[in-house]
Structure 1
Amino acid sequence: ANATADVSGKAPSCRIRLIKNTGEHGACHARNKGTEQAEGRYLCFLDADDLWDREKLSKQLSFMRKTGAAFSFTGYEFADENGKGTGKIVKVPPQITYEEALKNTTIFTSTVMFDLSLLGRETVRMPAIESEDTACWWRILRGGVTAYGLNESLTLYRRSAGTLSSNKNTAIRRIWRLYREAEGLSVIKSAYCFVFWAVRAVLRRI
């Protein structure tokens, strides 16, 4: 559990609204519920363990307006369990298309920003499958949208050292299922994309 409810209750701004879930439905349900009730033009996600830079929203919003992007993402830095940056920063490319995204899952959920006036709420709705965020990005990009990268570290990605090995095994299983089941790629195309994905995943953590 996290202290979201406590923090939101003490927040001075009425722009912060807590949406409570009944029961445990997972991240997909929570994100979709938030998307349905969000009232603004621009939509972002922030997972409970991650942290935003104070200027993340203002810088990314300016970037969105400058580029006319419907979908953008930023660089990020790995952090320890206490939220302290490790110095390992993940840089991002200026743009990512669908074919490139299949080989490079550098789009991190807590760095994403959507312009709902260009995409629509149903377009950004996440499917109820494993790795729903990546599946959502791919579906949007497959429709002809290009994601624009702001190559500046504006988010801290907090991870636990004790879970890294199990996370790697889970990630491998999930990415393969996405290729084969969600995207319907052939075994050969899946293997081709997987090689690129694996190399880049390792490089992001070196």
Structure 2
Amino acid sequence: MKDLISIVTPTYNGENFIAETIKSVQAQTYEHWEMLIVDDLSTDNTVEIVKAFAAQDARIKFFILPEKGGASLARNKAIREAKGAYIAFLDADDLWKPEKLEKQLAFMKEAQVAFCYHHYSLIDEAGQALHIRRIAPEKLSFHRALLGCSIGCLSVMYHAKAVGLIQIERLDKRNDDALWLKILEKCQWGRLLDEDLAYYRIVERSLSSGSKVKLLKYHYRLYRNIMNYHAIKSLYYTICNVFVYFYNKKRREIRL
């Protein structure tokens, strides 16, 4: 029997892109998946769009949070509901290439790794290629990730049984980094699948496009509240993240 892959997708006011995101999952060459979409009380037509897809495809499971919780609590809900042996992540405005799941699952089994990620390319809001690829490191340890985590959410897959249940306290920004740290804390190492298998959409209003200075407080909260480090240690890792970000900013992107 094929392994089920659970796909975690939080949504909030994603009516412009969610249909295309779902279609990129439905186009996968590996078909044994479930897509767990959790909505954070959208005020646009996101709910109607997702419900229409779910009515036509039983692999799509749709949930709505009872109150605002941000992407972190939406991901928590999806992870709790997941039935898959493997868990993958895809945000509501990003896309996968058709062979993404098939290639990543085969690599993880062959290499016997519990945490895996890959490269991805950038597109604009209209879906046009920006001819830029973001490169991920060959290996990522827990201690290296503490200093700065340069992998894309849309590229990650982990072995659910090997890692166990992961739940993150609410953190409105950098909650994906918190997830990777909690996973790596258990399995110690992540491995690169050296292929470009996804498209990350640059959206002007997205959380990740905000001021990097404003993000510092969320980095601090990540270490202080999520990792439970003392204040000085949390400040140290926050400062390290700033230096690592600027050091890697150009090195992790290549022109296509």
TM-score (norm 2): 0.69
**Structure with more relative contact order (C-alpha pairs < 8 Å, separation 6 or more):** 1
Return the offset for 1:54: 1.0
Tell me how far apart the structure 2 counterparts of residues 33 and 152 of structure 1 sit (CA, whole Å). Answer: 30
Specify which of 89, 114, 120 is matched with residue 45 of structure 1: 89
Give the letter for the 1:2 counterpart.
G
Structure 1 unaligned regions, length at least 5: none
Residue 155 of structure 1 deviates from its aligned partner by 1.4
Aligned with residue 149 of structure 1, among 189, 192, 205: 192
Stretch of structure 1 that moved more, 125-134 or 47-56: 125-134
Aligned Cα root-mean-square deviation (Å): 2.6
Structure 1 residues 170 and 52, CA gap change in structure 2 (3 angstroms): farther
The residue identity in structure 2 corresponding to 1:33 is: K
Match 1:2 to one of 11, 14, 25: 14
Are positions 1:57 and 2:75 aligned together? no
Q: Is the 8 A contact 1:78 1:86 kept in 2?
A: yes
Greater displacement, 77-86 / 156-165: 156-165
Partners of 2:220 and 2:234 within 8 A in 1: no
Q: Specify whether residues 103 and 85 from structure 1 end up closer, same or farther in structure 2 by C-alpha distance, changes over 3 A only.
A: farther
* Structure-1 residue corresponding to 2:44: none
Count of residues in correspondence between the two structures: 204
Structure 1 residue 113 corresponds to structure 2 residue 157: yes
Distance 1:24 1:181, change over 3 A: closer
Q: Percent identity?
A: 30
Q: Larger strand proportion, structure 1 or 2?
A: 2
- What is the SS of the residue equivalent to 2:150? coil
**1:132 counterpart (161, 170, 175):** 175
Give the Å deviation of 1:2: 2.6
Aligned positions of 1:1-206 closer than 5 A? 1-3=13-15, 4=18, 5=47, 6-7=49-50, 9-10=52-53, 12-121=56-165, 124-130=166-172, 131-161=174-204, 166-179=210-223, 182-183=226-227, 184=229, 185=233, 187-188=235-236, 190-204=238-252
Farther-moved stretch of structure 1 (19-28 vs 154-163): 154-163
Residues 38-75 of structure 1: CA deviation (Å, up to 9, x unaligned) = 11111111111111111111111111111111111111
Q: Shift of the alpha carbon at 1:142?
A: 2.9
Structure 2: how far apart are the matches of 1:186 and 1:34?
A: 28
Task: Give the SS at the match of 1:96.
Answer: strand
1:104-162 deviation digits (Å, cap 9, x = unpaired):
321211111011121112xx222322412101211222345211111211111111357
Q: Which amino acid aligns with 2:182?
A: R
**How far has the Cα of 1:85 moved from its partner?**
2.2
Shift in Å, 1:165:
6.5
- Separation (CA, whole Å) in 2 of partners of 1:35 and 1:187: 30
Cα distance change, pair 169–179 in 1 and its aligned pair in 2 (3 A): same
Cα pair distance change 1:16/1:177, threshold 3 Å? closer
Q: Where does residue 35 of structure 2 map in the other structure?
A: none
Q: Distance in 2 between matches of 1:10 and 1:179?
A: 38
Counterpart-to-counterpart distance in 1, 2:113 and 2:103: 14
2:65 is aligned with what amino acid? N
